Structure 1
Amino acid sequence: MTPELQAATPADIADLRQLYYAVYGPHYPAGLGTDPAEMARLIQDPHTHWLVARRPGTGALVGSAAVHGELVSRIGRLEGLAVHPEHRTGGLAGALTEALCERTIGTGLLDSVYATVRTVSAGPQRVVARNGFRALGILPNAVDLSRRESLALYARHSSGVLDRRVPVPEVPAPLTPLLRAVEQSLGVSYADTRATAPLPAPERPAAGRLETIEAPAFVRRRFRERFPDADGWFCPLHTPNVLLMPDDGHFEVYAYVNRTGSYCALIAAHPGPAAAAAWLEPITRTLTRAGASYVEALVPLDRHDLLSAFLAQGFIPSALYPAMRAEGYGFHDYAVMTHTNEQIDFRGVVVDGPLQPYLDSYASAWASTYLPTLEVAS
């Protein structure tokens, strides 16, 4: 019999925790499946659509998935997709995914929904692909579960959104393979985007050190004071819990650090990202000491200067999210720049066909960043 899909309620929390333990073991890094208080908050959050699947007759909870949306950015994140190991052959994961997309993208509530998908097998990639999601990149060493795992980035757009992308005149040349992969995956074109040499690394004063503030409530208040609306920052669906600044205080960098999964997202910089562009290496080292082996940042594709600064300081273009941010009638593309301080080992990664060009793209970008150019003397 087909499981019944229902909205999650606080009464489901105990069963949900057992489900996520059965699927992921004791290493699931998100509060959505492990923290009762966070789960209760999300279930009651009007911007979160959380569905559970119950077996008819017994009422046993056998599946779960949620889309957490943000009205300002009109972006959603598909998360917590879990199906009990005994019920994985009936298309339940796809049914949960499609039902959530119908309630968000299908109703015009959101412009796009993205998902980060495990690469330990091709199954999760095929589930989202069958439900209209398209591959956007690979995020090496992105999360620490039972071991360090790479994730794949997928997204599904509302009808007509990709047609309203704002043109990008030029990008640093190391991003070219990534653009070609996106063209192949989504059918969009970057034929008018020039590939030019990256700019030199920005100079940083020799003196100076970074201070770190890890007081989540204070960081949130300070962040909202600095960025009272979404115009000065863009990292949807993340709330900062760490603040970094040099001892002279001429900039502030806000980040979200998840120590359970050992990853970090750079969220914003005040007075602007250019002010901190020369400090990316020490910022990354500081975040690594704070427990983040993987650091990522969203960078506008039309910011050649910022992309060059990230490239010059060890970040790799790992994914590209076309039409991610709405501005007026148009939509802006964003690159996902990533840095990992652990050895990358793709031998355990399983990629379905649409994801293979991104693996090749990452390898090419990594080589251009970390391998020296050899000169042959005659």
Structure 2
Amino acid sequence: MTVTITPAVLQDVAELRQLYFEVYGHGYPVPLGSDPAEMRRLIADAHTHWLVARKPGTGELAGSVVVQTDPGSRIGKLVGLVVHPVHREGGLAGRLTGAVCTGALATGSLDSIYTTVRVVTEGPQHIVVRNGFRPLGLMPNAVEVAGCESLALFARYADDVLDRREQVPYVPAPLAPLLTAAEEASGIGYANVRPAEAPDAGPPTGPAAPSTTAMEIVTARSFVNRRFLEQFPDPAGRFFPLHSPNAILTPENGEFEAYADLDPVTGSCSLIAVHPCAAAMAHALEPLMTAVTRTGVDYVETLLPLSDTAGLSAFLAAGFVPSALYPAMRRLGDRFHDYVVLSRTNRQIDFRATAVSSLVQPYLSAYLRAWTATYLPLHEVVS
């Protein structure tokens, strides 16, 4: 099909809203397809790349795609890819993906672009891979769209980025299956990384004892952001691209403050940072999960450097499961550092309706191994 692909303009907003509605109905959980004010803001934003496809002659809107960027972290996110049902033949989704990512990377302001892909069908997984994206993981129960759905993570890199990765000598042993999956699925090597068992600290006592204290949630966005910047004045302590906190979760005794991006619409929560450190909340996972569940959230994820053995061990001990690996996610000087996505879901995981392609299958196997090791007693696994 012949189309013209051009940057979106403010006059496209009404037609774009109609396009997203025709494809998703009222179930599209992203504001860029439903909130006119947010759509106008993004179209006018110099750091956002928004393309539309139109049929020549009639000018009929056939598709849309966006790359949002975080200039400070040099990371972009591919979102909002949509093609009208009558125009889905002819590879338009792939052409839009290629055009917007090539244009965004050509600016020289991005080191990588990531995207999360619904796995209700295999098609979108193949579209992004054909456009240079590498599969990086699987996040079960990560979003509420047409019911509870899982997402696959993919990333595309600028030239030479992966050649400048900082090597990590060892990681907590439960991460080994994820690293093996990354080697198989993405071709990124981890052969020299050694698994290291976390030290046995014995039964928890004192402040590390399991907490039953009720968790309080502060959701005044402006206050949360001011407090966040006060607690983390160094940008190095608040790395979570394209997310900002809108809530603080803290126990009544105030021993820690967990900063989160809560999104009840999608049923998800990104745990952005913990003050004074990640280990401070490891014993309080259950009341934290109970608190976010009351807001309508069933899925919690966090992002930690692959080199942060202590932080990773704390979250692993608290029931988080390693679900994705983002190599070369963060630039520090001239080197790039790998990050790990760890997640926890309160809802029963059901993969029967999940269309996991061979591209993502290694991550599904790794997740199942990690989940089993975390939540099933050893005798149940070996019997």
Task: For 2:147 and 2:172, locate their aligned partners in 1 and report how far apart those are by CA, in whole Å.
Answer: 33
Shift of 1:250: 3.4
Q: Partner residue of 2:305?
A: 300
Q: Cα RMSD between the aligned structures?
A: 1.8
Q: Partner residue of 2:267?
A: 262
Provide Cα deviations, 1:260-296, integer angstroms capped at 9, x if missing partner: 1111101112233333333333222211222210111
Provide Cα deviations, 1:104-127, integer angstroms capped at 9, x if missing partner: 223321000000001011111011
Partner amino acid for 1:94? G
Shift of 1:322: 0.5
Q: Partner residue of 1:156?
A: 156
Once structures 1 and 2 are overlaid, which stretch shifts more, 226-235 or 117-126? 226-235
Task: For 1:2 and 1:361, locate their aligned partners in 2 and report how far apart those are by CA, in whole Å.
Answer: 42
Partner amino acid for 1:213? V
Aligned 8 A contact 2:278 2:314 in 1: no
Shift of 1:200: 4.9
Q: Please state if 1:224 is matched with 2:229.
A: yes
SS in 2 for 1:56: coil
Shift of 1:206: 5.1
Shift of 1:68: 0.5
Shift of 1:67: 0.5
Aligned 8 A contact 1:69 1:75 in 2: yes
Q: Partner residue of 1:275?
A: 280
Aligned 8 A contact 1:263 1:292 in 2: yes
Task: For 1:82 and 1:200, locate their aligned partners in 2 and report how far apart those are by CA, in whole Å.
Answer: 49
Q: Please state if 1:12 is matched with 2:8.
A: no
Q: Partner residue of 2:57?
A: 57
Q: Partner residue of 2:250?
A: 245
Task: For 1:239 and 1:303, locate their aligned partners in 2 and report how far apart those are by CA, in whole Å.
Answer: 21
Q: Partner residue of 2:48?
A: 48
Provide Cα deviations, 1:112-157, integer angstroms capped at 9, x if missing partner: 0000001011111011010000110111011111211111100011
Task: For 1:62 and 1:26, locate their aligned partners in 2 and report how far apart those are by CA, in whole Å.
Answer: 19
Q: Partner residue of 2:196?
A: 196
Shift of 1:300: 1.1
Cα distance, 1:15–1:136 mapped onto 2, change above 3 Å: same
SS in 2 for 1:22: helix
Q: Please state if 1:315 is matched with 2:313.
A: no
Task: For 2:41 and 2:234, locate their aligned partners in 1 and report how far apart those are by CA, in whole Å.
Answer: 23
Q: Partner residue of 2:147?
A: 147
Partner amino acid for 1:115? T
Once structures 1 and 2 are overlaid, which stretch shifts more, 136-145 or 21-30? 21-30
| Partner residue of 1:347 out of 342, 346, 352 | 352
Aligned 8 A contact 1:72 1:230 in 2: no
Cα distance, 1:235–1:346 mapped onto 2, change above 3 Å: same
Task: For 2:2 and 2:226, locate their aligned partners in 1 and report how far apart those are by CA, in whole Å.
Answer: 46
Task: For 1:50 and 1:279, locate their aligned partners in 2 and report how far apart those are by CA, in whole Å.
Answer: 41
SS in 1 for 2:325: strand
SS in 2 for 1:5: strand
Task: For 1:308 and 1:225, locate their aligned partners in 2 and report how far apart those are by CA, in whole Å.
Answer: 26
Provide Cα deviations, 1:218-262, integer angstroms capped at 9, x if missing partner: 212322333345211111001211111222333221101111111
Aligned residues: 376
SS in 2 for 1:142: strand
Q: Please state if 1:137 is matched with 2:142.
A: no
Aligned 8 A contact 1:53 1:61 in 2: yes
SS in 2 for 1:110: coil
Once structures 1 and 2 are overlaid, which stretch shifts more, 77-86 or 187-196? 187-196
Once structures 1 and 2 are overlaid, which stretch shifts more, 334-343 or 185-194? 185-194
Task: For 1:356 and 1:128, locate their aligned partners in 2 and report how far apart those are by CA, in whole Å.
Answer: 16
Task: For 1:113 and 1:96, locate their aligned partners in 2 and report how far apart those are by CA, in whole Å.
Answer: 15
Partner amino acid for 2:91? G
SS in 2 for 1:281: helix
Task: For 2:230 and 2:63, locate their aligned partners in 1 and report how far apart those are by CA, in whole Å.
Answer: 40
Give the percent of matched residue pairs that are identical in Structure 1 and Structure 2.
56
| Partner residue of 1:289 out of 288, 294, 301 | 294
Which stretches in structure 2 are left out of the alignment for 5+ residues?
Answer: none
SS in 2 for 1:325: strand
Q: Partner residue of 1:330?
A: 335
SS in 2 for 1:240: coil
- Relative to the length of structure 2, the TM-score reads 0.94
Aligned 8 A contact 2:282 2:317 in 1: no
Task: For 1:164 and 1:353, locate their aligned partners in 2 and report how far apart those are by CA, in whole Å.
Answer: 28
Shift of 1:214: 1.1
Cα distance, 1:100–1:198 mapped onto 2, change above 3 Å: same
Cα distance, 1:169–1:90 mapped onto 2, change above 3 Å: same
Provide Cα deviations, 1:59-96, integer angstroms capped at 9, x if missing partner: 11110110011111101000000001111111111111
Q: Please state if 1:368 is matched with 2:379.
A: no
Task: For 2:241 and 2:346, locate their aligned partners in 1 and report how far apart those are by CA, in whole Å.
Answer: 25
